[in-house]
Amino acid sequence: MLAKNAPISSFERYLSIWVALGIAAGLLLGNWLPGLFQFLAGLEYGSVNFVVAVLIWFMVYPMMVSVDFSSLKRIHERPKGLVITLTVNWLIKPFTMAGLGVLFFHYFFVDLIDPANASQYIAGLILLGRRPVLQWCLSGRN
């Protein structure tokens, strides 16, 4: 675990630049090698692209390994954090994100996005608004 006052790495310091370079590289490669990207886009099952699923797994994995599962045995000692987290994650966040999704995709951006895709965007917003339910409690900050 990193010290609280440790300086940030160059990767973290220039993360916006790395993201912009990644986007530019994706656009250039997509124009230079369209067949490769069509092949990668075809690797899907049930409307889930395998390449995207693997990349999301690599993005989520570091958060999952930082969870302290050994603290589960002590969860009954201070249940307030668990109750707050469950309430926020299951009762507040999904409905708030669904409301924002309906507001934006059915009213503000209705002319920009076709209705078939709008419901998928709303589902994505609901999932995006969700944080792993027990991450806060299991990280020892409750």
Q: What is the pLDDT of residue 139?
A: 53
Q: Three-class SS string for 27-57?
A: HHHHHHCHHHHHHHHHCEECCEEHHHHHHHH
Q: What is the pLDDT of residue 60?
A: 81
Phi, psi at residue 75, to the nearest 5°? Answer: -65, -30
Query: Domain spans of the chain?
Result: 8-65, 68-142
Residue type, 52: V
Provide the pairing of β-strand 48-49 with 44-45.
antiparallel
pLDDT < 70: residue spans in the chain: 1-4, 131-142
Residue found by looking up tokens 């965007």 in the block: 121
H/E element, 85: helix 80-87
Q: What is the pLDDT of residue 133?
A: 47
Q: What is the pLDDT of residue 131?
A: 58
Beta bridge partners of 49: 44
Give pTM, 2 decimals: 0.46
Q: What is the pLDDT of residue 27?
A: 93
Q: What is the pLDDT of residue 127?
A: 79
Helix axes 34-42, 15-32, angle to 10 degrees: 100
> Distance between CA 83 and CA 86 in Å, rounded?
5
